Structure 1
Amino acid sequence: MTLRELVIAYFQYPAIIGYLTSAIVAIGLFFRYPAPLVPTLASIGVALLVYPLVWYCLHRWVLHSRWMFKVPLLAATWKRIHYDHHQDPNRLEILFGALHTTLPTIALATAPIGYWIGGPGGALAAFATGLLTTCFYEFCHCIQHLAYKPKNKMLIEMKARHMAHHFHDERGNFGITNYFWDKLFGTYYERIEKDKKSETVFNLGYTPEVAERYPHVARLSGGVATGHPSQRIPH
């Protein structure tokens, strides 16, 4: 895949169109309800700093939780937003999260801080920053999952860390573009440091045995797939 093909594929995803449209609306509203320059810049800066930590916490303690599939009302959401992605990391139609879950999350992670700093204008600036940061994260996510070989050293390292998260051990490397919090909390690793592959790297701990007790996700999935995605027999 060429860079041009990657960009074309990226802009075809409804989620990206949704993020960009929302960012344009937020920026437009900012000019209707502006904040002073310093609070605006502060709101943008804090949103950029907070975003990687929020993503790390959500990815580690929510998306990789072992409590969501136990709750019938949350099982379908967990399945859609992360279980399916780990079951088969190359399924491109579920590469991005669902807008009804991601947009409120981005707003809650950024807008209150921006409002505290600069009122409505600060909230809009922070929210727009979160949306555009998400677009950058998802572009890197595309690089990591699509058949594109980056030449940039930083992107190569990002892809290696994320592929290890998907195919070697899901209990680390929770960042997408920023692994500072992984290093701080001791979850950063290079594949050569772990000679044994995690047995739950594709099912996130939702094993056939667990499914017998909490069957909600299994019912929605037509069972519990096991083994490497490329070695499974299609239904």
Structure 2
Amino acid sequence: MVAQEFVVDLNKPLVLQVGHLGEGYQEWAHQPIPTKESPRFFESDILEFLTRTAWWVIPLVWLPVVCYTISMSVRMGHTCSEIAVMVAVGVFIWTLLEYSLHRFLFHIKTKTYWGNTIHYLLHGCHHKHPMDSLRLVFPPVPAAILTIPLWNMIKLLSTTSTTPALFGGGLLGYVMYDVTHYYLHHGHPSKETFRNLKKYHLNHHFRIQNKGFGITSSLWDKVFGTLPQTKAAKKSR
């Protein structure tokens, strides 16, 4: 049987199956199953547990870290206005990182067994099961590992006293991103801003999956030309 003919059994653990799809993986992963079910990933209960994270875990774990790191810069003598600017810069930098990760890493094209498997764990599962409420946010353990190079990068580019506040701002941006992402899938926004953002993101999932990479904002999609056209704009052409 050639790789393209492999059929994933949705009733069995998925992760070790998807690699066998080969070049057909991308098409399969981007045909969403829009139900609220949470599919089985692994036979192991321990591994399965580690892939599931409730949305409220993100602010519970990371907001204390945000407060602590920002307070480090305060203790080093920075004023409230200086701290506010540094935190805002950190959040702004996160928005670019959010866009870049989503566009260039989460939507990287794979076709090998392990490439497909890793991509599925990283982001493919979200496109296949976009309403899986326990796999919408990033688990704290791998997130903690990724904060180490982020801290070192900021430390390299800034001063000792500004690094903690910039890092805290970036981490705050991440918390805002993950909580917003969950809300866009499962919330029922009443304000027009969030209704438009929800429509914008779900458009990425169900209509134009190679554009609209921003989550908390469409800013960088506008800057880099990946803003999807509206249906009205298409009809007028």
- TM class by shorter chain equals 0.5 to 0.7
1:35 Cα deviation (Å)?
5.0
1:71 and 1:35 map into 2 onto residues whose CA distance is 52
C-alpha contact (below 8 Å) 2:72/2:165 kept by paired residues:
no
1:13 to 51, 56, 78: 56
C-alpha contact (below 8 Å) 1:20/1:132 kept by paired residues:
yes
1:59 and 1:112 map into 2 onto residues whose CA distance is 20
1:78 to 119, 125, 130: 119
Aligned pairs for 1:198-213 within 5 A: none
Structure 1: stretches of 5+ with no match in the other structure: 1-9, 196-235
Within the alignment, does 1:139 sit opposite 2:139 as a pair? no
1:140 and 1:117 map into 2 onto residues whose CA distance is 29
C-alpha contact (below 8 Å) 2:55/2:179 kept by paired residues:
no
Within the alignment, does 1:50 sit opposite 2:89 as a pair? no
C-alpha contact (below 8 Å) 1:114/1:125 kept by paired residues:
no
Structure 1 residues 181, 61: CA separation in 2 closer, same or farther (over 3 Å shift)?
Answer: same
1:184 and 1:19 map into 2 onto residues whose CA distance is 29
2:137 and 2:197 map into 1 onto residues whose CA distance is 17
Structure 1 residues 12, 159: CA separation in 2 closer, same or farther (over 3 Å shift)?
Answer: closer
C-alpha contact (below 8 Å) 1:26/1:128 kept by paired residues:
yes
2:229 and 2:214 map into 1 onto residues whose CA distance is 13
1:185 to 224, 227, 236: 224
Q: Which residue of structure 1 lines up, in the alignment, with residue 104 of structure 2?
A: 61
C-alpha contact (below 8 Å) 1:140/1:177 kept by paired residues:
yes
1:83 Cα deviation (Å)?
0.9
1:165 Cα deviation (Å)?
0.5
Q: Which residue of structure 1 lines up, in the alignment, with residue 134 of structure 2?
A: 93
Q: Deviations over 1:21-68 (max 9, x none)?
A: 322442454455x2533764553232122111111111000001014x
Aligned pairs for 1:215-226 within 5 A: none
1:12 and 1:171 map into 2 onto residues whose CA distance is 26
Instruction: Normalising by structure 1, report the TM-score.
Output: 0.65
Aligned length: 181
C-alpha contact (below 8 Å) 2:151/2:167 kept by paired residues:
yes
Structure 1 residues 75, 39: CA separation in 2 closer, same or farther (over 3 Å shift)?
Answer: farther
Aligned pairs for 1:150-161 within 5 A: 150-161=189-200
Q: Which residue of structure 2 lines up, in the alignment, with residue 117 of structure 1?
A: 158
Amino acid at match of 2:140: L
1:70 and 1:35 map into 2 onto residues whose CA distance is 52
Structure 1 residues 21, 39: CA separation in 2 closer, same or farther (over 3 Å shift)?
Answer: closer
Structure 1 residues 176, 152: CA separation in 2 closer, same or farther (over 3 Å shift)?
Answer: same
C-alpha contact (below 8 Å) 1:150/1:156 kept by paired residues:
yes
Structure 1 residues 101, 70: CA separation in 2 closer, same or farther (over 3 Å shift)?
Answer: farther
Structure 1 residues 134, 178: CA separation in 2 closer, same or farther (over 3 Å shift)?
Answer: same
Q: Which residue of structure 2 lines up, in the alignment, with residue 231 of structure 1?
A: none
Within the alignment, does 1:102 sit opposite 2:102 as a pair? no
Paired residue secondary structure (2:159): helix
Matched residues, percent identical?
A: 23
Paired residue secondary structure (2:108): coil
2:118 and 2:139 map into 1 onto residues whose CA distance is 9
C-alpha contact (below 8 Å) 1:161/1:190 kept by paired residues:
no
Paired residue secondary structure (1:16): helix
